[in-house]
Amino acid sequence: MVIVEGVPAYLYLDEEYIAHHLGRRQRGYGRGGRQQIERDHAHIQTGVRHGYTLGSPIGMLIENRDWSQEGRNQRVTRIRPGHADLPGAMKYGFHDVRNSLERASARETAARVAAGAVAMKLLEEFGIKLHSHVLSIGRVKANPPDQGAIDWDAVEESPVHCADSDVADQMMAEVDAAREAGDTVGGVVEVIAEGVPIGLGSHVHWDRKIDAKISQALMSINAVKAVSIGEGWDLLDRWGSEFQDVIEPWQRKTNRAGGTEGGMTSGTPLVARFVIKPIATLHNPLPSVDLDTGEPVQAHFERSDVCQAPPAGVIGEAMMALVLADAFMEKFGGDSIPETKRNFEGYQATVGPRLRYS
Ligand SMILES: Cc1cc2nc3c(=O)[nH]c(=O)nc-3n(C[C@H](O)[C@H](O)[C@H](O)COP(=O)(O)O)c2cc1C
């Protein structure tokens, strides 16, 4: 069950729109057998009438088919390193690792994508659009065009969700090589929000800084190990004059800072990158310990993905959308879309014409 609160009334919302994003999360080269079993669909239960939101919490139900498969309810004691297995069992006193294994599974990201789709729909009303693409898988790095020149339809078609079609085959070969070796491979993903107004977030409250909120949201995705805003990781070898996005009479020609300054959106596209680690469940399992006996064993193996970088971008979009929608409603408020639009347009009339990004 997913519950989304804070959405104003009169937002048109249908299950097909949410299903579209859930379907994007299920695809991608390197996914395992579970995606053949699941048929993700969020059934809207509350908060929507005749296709429009009511301002009340939106409740959605997504079925889990996998649990009914053969063996999926069996007790697990062979702890898998790199998962919630060991700390989960110790923290809650579980004798069955499955109690934490299932809840910690990235299956829960289907719920995030459904909630994120509602946030995206809200943001679209105000001209904000989100995208993502894969920058690297294992040792294969993409050389994508500038953000404004990316063909997003082609990225959607790419099995590795990559904007550089020249390296897509190499990325798939990297996944195949890992699979054949009984191993796994991670990657780097970029999430972009276009059309974001200037001034979301806060330079006054540390806990409302938009870059900090986005980082926390992306870091919370299962297996994410590093987050950067804009060119954050690449700035170490630059001097100050080479890094800042110079302001010209109401436009910027660069976006190295990734669309934030002082904890607020700066009017340029929001850009964040994250590193997702190689999956910890290996076909050639790692050495571990049995929870019952304390004896050395090989870690438990269960049907698993080989690479999750392509779907991780879709989850990243959802997480960024949730943060942006929150910050947007905090700034503009309103109980209905027309009311929020009046507030937004009043603000844009004072700042909008003053800044362009090219
Ligand atoms: C989209 C997605 C799919 C994933 N699929 C798997 C999987 O099939 N098998 C697996 O062991 N881990 C998978 N993971 C990673 C685990 O959920 C994650 O590594 C684990 O919960 C431990 O979390 P941590 O690495 O953040 O500490 C996936 C992660 C994501 C984002």
Question: Atom 5 of ligand 1 has which residue's CA nearest to it?
Answer: 305
**Residue 42, φ and ψ in degrees, nearest 5:** -95, 115
Inter-axis angle of helices 309-332 and 15-26, nearest 10: 140
What value does the mean pLDDT take over residues 42-59? Answer: 98
- In three-state secondary structure terms, 133 is strand
pLDDT per position as a tens digit, 136-157 = 999 999 999 998 899 999 999 9
- Helix ranges (H only) for 106-198 are 109-124, 152-157, 168-180
pLDDT of 35: 65
Q: Which of 308, 314, 315, 319 to mutate to test the pocket of ligand 1 (most atoms within 8 A of CB)?
A: 308
| 114 — pLDDT class (breaks 50, 70, 90) | very high
Which amino acid residue places its CA nearest to atom 20 of ligand 1? 83
| Whether residue 172 has pLDDT greater than 80 | yes
Q: What is the largest CA-CA distance in the chain?
A: 70
pLDDT value of residue 227: 98
| One-letter amino acid for residue 19 of the chain | A
Average pLDDT over residues 114-142: 98
Read off the pTM. 0.95
Angle at 85 between CA 23 and CA 296, to 5 degrees: 130
Q: Which of 24, 279, 315 to mutate to test the pocket of ligand 1 (most atoms within 8 A of CB)?
A: 279
Nearest to 316, CA basis, from 159, 138, 154, 113: 113
Q: From ligand 1's centre to the CA of 320, what distance in Å?
A: 19
DSSP characters over 183-251: ----EEEEEEEESPPTT-B-SS-GGG-HHHHHHHHHHTSTTEEEEEETTGGGGGG--HHHHS--EETTE
Model confidence pLDDT, tens digit, residues 180-230: 999 999 999 999 999 999 999 999 999 999 999 999 999 999 999 999 999
Pocket around ligand 1: residues whose beta carbon is below 6 Å from it?
A: 32, 82-84, 104-106, 109, 221-223, 277, 279-281, 304-305, 308, 311-312, 315
| Mean pLDDT for all residues in the chain | 94
Predicted pLDDT of residue 80: 95
Region 173-180: mean pLDDT is 97
Q: CA 101, 103, 105: angle at the middle one, nearest 5?
A: 65
Report how far ligand 1's centroid is from the alpha carbon of 169 (Å).
24
Find the range with the poorest average confidence among 77-81, 229-233, 293-297.
229-233
Please report, rounded to a whole number, the percentage of residues in the chain having pLDDT higher than 90: 84
Question: In 3D, which of 126, 145, 18, 86 has the Cα closest to residue 299?
Answer: 86
Check: CB of residue 141 under 8 Å from CB of residue 189: no
Pairing status of strand 140-141 against strand 52-53: unpaired
pLDDT of 70: 67
For the chain, give the percent of residues with pLDDT over 70.
95
Give the pLDDT confidence of 4-50 residue by residue, as tens digits: 999 999 999 999 999 999 999 999 998 876 666 667 999 999 999 99
What pLDDT does residue 37 have? 67
Q: What is the mean pLDDT of residues 257-274?
A: 96
Q: State the average pLDDT over residues 52-57.
A: 98
Q: Assess whether pLDDT exceeds 90 at residue 238.
A: no
CA of 281 to the centre of ligand 1 (A): 8
pLDDT at 113 over 90: yes
